[in-house]
Amino acid sequence: MHIVALHNLKGGVGKTAAAVNLADQAARGGLPTLLWDLDPQAAATWCLNARPGLGRAPKKLFRRNAPIGKERQRTRWPYLDLLPADESLRHLDALIEKGKDGGRLLHGLLEPFSESYGLLLLDCPPSFSRLAEAVVRAADRVLCPLIPAPLSLNAWRQMEGHFDRRRYGRDKLRAFLTMVDRRRRLHRDWVAARPTSLRRCYETWIPYSTEVEKMSLRREPLMAFAPRSPASVAYARLWSELAREL
């Protein structure tokens, strides 16, 4: 099972949009996929038309090798399941903080999923919580969406620096450009040639598109209602680029 996390210290950069659409793309290709919504704001859960909340109390949920998989929900789309967002993730965060080895706790929780899924996508909250740290450690790839802007490069360098200090291996970190508005000069420049400090950036960029915004009204992935929109095509390409590497 490949583990891919969407992560950026900034909010509102398109992590959730990418997580939902990449999960959808993978599932459409017949790869059994689980999307775990780790953000208590529950945006991914909402976009997949599911209910937030895990059934059992956190103490029961987050023991090592606990069958957290029982909490997953089927979605309307074949091969695509969801582990919805839940307030109790704070509890998991605290458990990881308290325990000596948060990574092992998370590993124990994720391990059973490898029997049922080829891909686990994790939609992270915009922070470096203990949980996010453990997720990043466990992930094969950490995708960081960036909106073309000078400050985005700071965010990227911060991520790289953090990965180095914690020895997560910056090789697993990937950037991709999102919300690209070709009417804007800087956006066109970055599409034509990525800034030199932006290494390991995918070729594919996601255009700014009102169709993406509509996902939260329609509560479905882009492919379900606008399969031919440029953004939909871009997510499909992004998935191919990612899948080639896995």
Ligand X SMILES: Nc1ncnc2c1ncn2[C@@H]1O[C@H](COP(=O)(O)OP(=O)(O)O)[C@@H](O)[C@H]1O
User: Which residues lie near ligand X (CB under 6 A)?
Assistant: 11-17, 43, 178-179, 206, 208-209, 212-213, 216, 231
| 132 to 171: interface string for Mg ion, x by CB under 5 A | ----------------------------------------
Q: Segment near Mg ion (CB under 5 A), from 7-15, 49-57, 148-156, 175-183?
A: 7-15
Is residue 21 within the footprint of Mg ion (CB under 5 A)? no
Q: For the chain, where are the E strands, in sequence order? A: 2-6, 33-37, 73-74, 80-83, 119-123, 141-146, 173-180, 201-207
Residues 42-101 that bind Mg ion (CB under 5 A): 43
Q: Let me know: does 213 contact 183? Beta carbons within 8 Å.
A: no
Is residue 16 within the footprint of Mg ion (CB under 5 A)? yes
Question: Where are the alpha helices (H) located in 58-112, listed in sequence order?
Answer: 58-61, 89-98, 102-110
Nearest approach, Cβ of 161 to ligand X (angstroms)?
20
For residue 242, which of 200, 213, 186 has the smallest C-alpha distance? 200
Residue 149 CB burial class (10 angstroms; 0-12, 13-18, ≥19)? middle
Two structure tokens written together for 213: 């915004």
CA distance 175 to 10: 13
Q: Segment near Mg ion (CB under 5 A), from 14-22, 57-65, 127-135, 200-208?
A: 14-22
Q: Segment near Mg ion (CB under 5 A), from 22-30, 36-44, 112-120, 133-141?
A: 36-44
CA distance 153 to 58: 37
Binding site partner of 206, from Mg ion, ligand X, none, Cβ cut-off 5-8 A by kind: ligand X
Nearest approach, Cβ of 12 to ligand X (angstroms)?
4
Binding site partner of 226, from ligand X, Mg ion, none, Cβ cut-off 5-8 A by kind: none
Go through 176-193 and write b for each residue having 16 or more CB atoms within 10 A of its CB, e for each that does not. bbbbbeeeeeebeebeee
Nearest approach, Cβ of 126 to Mg ion (angstroms)?
7
Nearest approach, Cβ of 116 to ligand X (angstroms)?
26
Nearest approach, Cβ of 45 to ligand X (angstroms)?
12
